[in-house]
Amino acid sequence: MPEKHRKLSAFEEELFDTIKRVNQYKIGCETNIISILYKKPDLIYETNLTLDELRV
């Protein structure tokens, strides 16, 4: 039997909204990094990023 979803408090709703916004900005930043590295692949040697830190 499926459980009923409880109503979120105002704090929880704001928390989830903030997490969504941070993730949206993060995706944009990662996209910019990938496009820069695509255009100038030699720049990868000038960073301290690892593949684990980028969602490829």
Under the banding of pLDDT at 50, 70 and 90, the label for residue 1 is: very low
State the residue range of the domain holding 21: 10-53
Is residue 36 a part of any domain in this protein? yes
Q: Counting beta carbons within 10 angstroms of the beta carbon of residue 50, is it exposed (0 to 12), middle (13 to 18) or buried (19 or more)?
A: exposed
Is residue 45 a part of any domain in this protein? yes
Is residue 30 a part of any domain in this protein? yes
Q: For residue 14, give the H/E element and its range.
A: helix 10-39
Is residue 5 a part of any domain in this protein? no
> For residue 24, what are its two tokens?
């949206």
Is residue 3 a part of any domain in this protein? no
* pTM exceeds 0.75, yes or no: no
> For residue 44, what are its two tokens?
């990868």
> Does the structure show a pLDDT above 80 at 11?
yes
Mean pLDDT of 28-32: 87
Q: Among all chains, which residue has been given the structure tokens 């459980």?
A: 3
Mean pLDDT of 33-45: 89
Give the pLDDT score at 55.
Answer: 58
